[in-house]
Amino acid sequence: MKPIVAIVGRPNVGKSSFFNRVTRTRDAIVDNFPGVTRDRNYGNVRRDGVEFTLIDTGGFTGENDDDFSHHIRFQINQAIEDADVILLMLDGKNGVSPFDTDLVGMLRTVTKPVFYAVNKIDGIEQEDNLYDFYALGIENPYPISAEHGYGVNDFLDDLVQTLPESVSEPSEKMIRLAVVGKPNVGKSSMINRISGENRLVVTDAPGTTRDAVDSVCTVGGKSYLLIDTAGIRRKGRVSEKLEKFSVIKALRSLDRCDVALIVIDADDGITEQDINIAGYAYERGCGCIFLLNKWDIIEKDSKTAKKYYDRLRTEAKFLNFAPAITISALTGLRVHRIFRLVEEVYEQYVTRIGTGQLNRILDLAIEKNTPPIYRGRRIKFYYATQVSAKPPTFVCFANYPDAVHFSYKRYLINQFREGSGLDKTPIRLIFRKRTGRLKFDKKKRRL
């Protein structure tokens, strides 16, 4: 599980600019995958062999003076609870703000590492601007420029040294299930229903997060770790500023799990936020199962379930491989079938495909649909091999790997699914340029 660093601060101090520089993205709210439209407020960072998740947050404002203290304390409390390291971003160009004073005062009670970065310091000649911030009673403020990169590397070197080491998971081999969804969709009720079945044995085991106790249940002699999460809220006038931190626990659980159980309130219908949450799971590479809960209160006919499934496939087409089932946590309707689906998804999730079989599938795919031409030359795929599981990840060597269009990539993934029977798990396909060091013998189907 990756450590989490949360950036807090008032508006326009450069939080997003810093986020984009460190995550090496040009726009934190853009996702290039077709069909996935959602705010991107987190990014993965790898530095000196250490990986962590960086969370960008909305600016603290005083739109309503009476509620300002409440909102700011809520966000800080969320940061304290969920992040491993907190970064307070300050504005070296405009100086100290009363909001900075309030934030620093609250962060003094934090036992976790807190870093203070004074942004918009574009060079050593501007470091005199730091003196104003010593009045806040902080030590060692870092002068940085998120726009130009001044001081960022030195700051990150110190930051990485304070990140906690990954906490080991329980030693017992078990399938890890993260239960995610909006508030009040029935996540906890479903876990309680599972725990209340007489044929299940449920114990409590400490989780990898400091504030969670995961439920370990045994079904048919197999162990499962159920990771319950807080609901991921929909944005609104007030929750827009609070939503940023509500995804942190979900991200932690998705980093830890093998299969994500995405719970949807069937009575509410399939909402945009349900699709957003599915997008988080897709990006994390989890196996996924949709649970349409509260089916007992739905007015239905013979076509109702099909209409829900069709809508789900249309709205979340990037997860068209994920099974879906209608359940009722209240009555127990079809809850027992969840684990059967979990086993099917997990079996595919950990599958490894032989290089020979993989390349036979690749050859047939190329014969059926010839690769496009790039700069007057045909794109050639030399060979493919699986480099990892969880999820199955394939590397395909080509003469122009960067020129492969996403539509042809999607076609190849679908061909790998069809040829290997991996119809219920995510598949990752990476294109690389052949180095010439390895030669593939097509007759013997091996390297």
Taking only the tens place, the pLDDT of each residue in 268-306 is 999 988 898 898 899 889 999 999 999 999 998 989 999
Element containing residue 89 per DSSP (H, E)? strand 85-91
Q: Which residues contact 269 (CB under 8 A, 6 or more apart)?
A: 311
Token readout for 384 is 């493919």
Q: How many residues does the chain have?
A: 447
> Which pLDDT score, from 0 to 100, does residue 198 have?
39
Radius of gyration of the chain measured on its C-alpha atoms: 24
Q: Alpha helix (H) ranges present in 85-199?
A: 98-107, 152-162, 187-196
Q: Are 45 and 22 in contact (CB under 8 A)?
A: yes
How would you class 103 by CB atoms within 10 Å of its CB: exposed for 0-12, middle for 13-18, buried for 19 or more? buried
Query: In CATH, which superfamily holds the domain spanning 355-433?
Result: K homology (KH) domain (3.30.300.20)
Q: CA–CA separation, 371 vs 356, rounded Å?
A: 21
Q: Are 239 and 267 in contact (CB under 8 A)?
A: no
* This model's pTM is above 0.85: no
Token readout for 292 is 């349409």
> Which pLDDT score, from 0 to 100, does residue 213 have?
42
> Which pLDDT score, from 0 to 100, does residue 33 have?
38
> Which pLDDT score, from 0 to 100, does residue 276 have?
86
Token readout for 264 is 């949807």
Listed by start position, the domains of the chain span 4-162, 175-349, 355-433
Please tell me if the domain spanning 4-162 has the same topology as the one spanning 355-433. Answer: no
> Which pLDDT score, from 0 to 100, does residue 432 have?
95
Architecture in CATH for domain 4-162: 3-Layer(aba) Sandwich (3.40)
Architecture in CATH for domain 175-349: 3-Layer(aba) Sandwich (3.40)
> Which pLDDT score, from 0 to 100, does residue 429 have?
96
Q: Which residues contact 203 (CB under 8 A, 6 or more apart)?
A: 215, 216, 217
Low-confidence ranges of the chain (pLDDT < 70): 1, 26-41, 58-80, 166-172, 195-214, 228-250, 436-447
Q: Are 143 and 224 in contact (CB under 8 A)?
A: no
